[in-house]
Amino acid sequence: MRSICVMGTGYVGLVTGACLSDFGNAVTCVDIDAQRIARLKAGEVPIYEPGLEEMMTRNIGRGRLSFSTEIPFAIKASQLIFIAVGTPSMPDGDVDMSYVFEAARTIGRYMEDYKIIVNKSTVPVGTGVQVAELIRQTQPGVDFDIVSNPEFLREGSAIDDFMHPDRLVIGAGNQRSLEAVVDVYRPLYQNDIPMVLTDVESAEMIKYAANALLATKISFINEIANICEAYGADVTAVARGMGLDQRIGPRNLSAGAGYGGSCFPKDVAGLAAIARKGQVDSPLIQSINPSNGHQRRRMIAKLRELVGPFSGRTICLLGLSFKPDTDDLREAPALEMIETLQAEGATVRAYDPASMEKAQQLYPNLVCCESPYRAAEGADALVLMTEWNEFRNIDLAVLHSALKAPRMLDCRNLYHPRQMQEMGFEYLSVGRPPRRPGQETPEKTSDWLLGGYMLRR
């Protein structure tokens, strides 16, 4: 059985460890956070990720997956070491590489024979060379290879993404290490998953380039949505018309409150910083995050348009996590909304299926409620922040009667404007004309095609 050490038990490390053990490898996941390892050893899964707990339990039971703080032992005992530690943003947007470099020094300190060090963290181009240099300085006498294997999983569908990726990217400096890592992924290779086999630098760059383009698509459609609003067009039709062009594709073209999470904002900032450091002009890349910030503030401005000054108001937020099926609040658009509302004297009532515990820790004054209907009680307006599935079939009539005033800002375009108007809501969404009860509004094609429209959503 191949022995693998995974350094870091965050989203990427845990999912990588669980999936590689499911492939039949003996995997030890290590972390410098002793509390996290203690929780994992006690059978607790510290993140909400569909399917992860079952996979972990299965592989722990078969003796293929374990957790440890004994990093030296795990390094010595493993043939391959996967680095999956954090690479957060520094205040100037540059990438904080201290965790990756510390992991590299630790590997150098304890390795006693040939190792393949596979980097899964998202790192600036050139990191492979720096990591190799650090290891060589710490341990000059032992042979090793560095491989870049960026991770593309999305929180909320991480297991499925790991097992059925669009592609695998593996960048290596020689055939020996390339073949060894390809062999680790043989179960996926047999599933016909395309592989991009390249050099370390190109593999590192692929990850940043891909994330920056995905973020650009979101910001682009958000800016198109704002133009649609000014001229009475419907961004959902525009996005569909664009997305059916195969050169564009339909994904990441939903207008909304802007992107969040632990990857897009920091990776876009990281790429912008990499370009600046390399003295490369990149006006487009430099403007992606500012455009996203503008969109978040635009949602706050829309809410102000709906309720007037925030002071003394009660606002209900449905959905807090940066996207559905995760409890991750990092850089979630809901945070800026909560902070602005609370700073300006509003009471915020909230409901989210997974992230309320984390939100309550961040904002002790947030009123966390057990259901969306409870959260709506007595509120001056409701803001839908995250498109959790359970909100798609919510009982809008119950919400309507729970609210003090039936006003809704739908930041995810989840509901049909005409239907909302007919139910008596004052309804604002993104990139679609506003609807108000009793207001004469020109009919849109989507009004006549209500059934088809609903099916398509």
Ligand X SMILES: NC(=O)c1ccc[n+]([C@@H]2O[C@H](COP(=O)([O-])OP(=O)(O)OC[C@H]3O[C@@H](n4cnc5c(N)ncnc54)[C@H](O)[C@@H]3O)[C@@H](O)[C@H]2O)c1
4, 19, 30, 337: residue in contact with ligand X (rule CB under 6 A): 30
Virtual torsion, Cα 155, 158, 160, 164, nearest 10 deg? 110
Task: Find the largest Cα–Cα distance for the chain.
Answer: 80
12, 215, 272, 329: residue in contact with ligand X (rule CB under 6 A): 12
Closest residue to ligand X, judged by C-beta, is 10
Helices then strands, counting H and E runs in the chain, come out as 21, 14
Indicate the residue among 30 and 253 with the shorter CB distance to ligand X: 30
Indicate the residue among 108 and 372 with the shorter CB distance to ligand X: 108
The CA R_g of the chain, rounded to the nearest whole Å, is 24
**Contact code string over 101-120 relative to ligand X, x by CB under 6 A:** -xx--x--------------
Cα separations in angstroms, 353 against 1, 41, 251, 391 = 40, 26, 24, 10
Indicate the residue among 30 and 420 with the shorter CB distance to ligand X: 30
Indicate the residue among 222 and 262 with the shorter CB distance to ligand X: 262
Q: Name the residues annotated as catalytic.
A: 263
Q: Identify the CA nearest to 287 among candidates 299, 300, 301, 275.
A: 275
Q: Quick one: CA dihedral 87, 92, 94, 97, positive or negative?
A: negative
Distance of CA 392 to the CA centre of its chain: 21
Yes or no: say if 64 and 37 are a contact pair by the CB < 8 Å rule. Answer: no
**Contact code string over 76-95 relative to ligand X, x by CB under 6 A:** --------xxxx--------
Distance of CA 232 to the CA centre of its chain: 31
- Produce one character per residue of 280-315: b if its CB has 16 or more CB atoms within 10 Å, e if not: eeeeebbebbebbeebbebbbebbeebbeebeebbb
3 state SS for 210-269? HHHHHHHHHHHHHHHHHHHHHHCCCHHHHHHHHHCCCCCCCCCCCCCCCCCCCCHHHHHH
131 lies in the site for ligand X, by CB under 6 A: no
Query: Min. distance of Cβ 261 from ligand X in angstroms?
Result: 7
Query: Min. distance of Cβ 239 from ligand X in angstroms?
Result: 24
Yes or no: say if 109 and 139 are a contact pair by the CB < 8 Å rule. Answer: yes
> Of residues 247-276, which lie at the interface with ligand X (CB under 6 A)?
262-263
Query: Min. distance of Cβ 262 from ligand X in angstroms?
Result: 5
- Which of the ranges 30-38, 131-139, 172-180, 234-242 carries the binding residues for ligand X, by CB under 6 A? 30-38
Query: Min. distance of Cβ 394 from ligand X in angstroms?
Result: 27
- Which of the ranges 29-37, 140-148, 174-182, 197-205 carries the binding residues for ligand X, by CB under 6 A? 29-37
22, 31, 234, 352: residue in contact with ligand X (rule CB under 6 A): 31
- Which of the ranges 98-106, 169-177, 300-308, 423-431 carries the binding residues for ligand X, by CB under 6 A? 98-106
Indicate the residue among 8 and 108 with the shorter CB distance to ligand X: 8
122 lies in the site for ligand X, by CB under 6 A: yes
Query: Min. distance of Cβ 195 from ligand X in angstroms?
Result: 18
d(Cα 119, Cα 85) in Å, to the nearest integer?
A: 9
Query: Min. distance of Cβ 108 from ligand X in angstroms?
Result: 12
The secondary structure element, H or E, covering residue 114 is: none
Q: For 324-376, where are the E strands, in sequence order?
A: 347-351, 367-368
Q: Identify the CA nearest to 14 among candidates 86, 71, 103.
A: 86
> Of residues 133-172, which lie at the interface with ligand X (CB under 6 A)?
151, 153, 155
99 lies in the site for ligand X, by CB under 6 A: yes
Indicate the residue among 32 and 193 with the shorter CB distance to ligand X: 32
Residue 382 is encoded by which pair of tokens? 């409701």
Indicate the residue among 323 and 416 with the shorter CB distance to ligand X: 323
Residues contributing to the site for ligand X (CB under 6 A): 7-13, 30-33, 36, 84-87, 99, 102-103, 106, 121-122, 151, 153, 155, 262-263
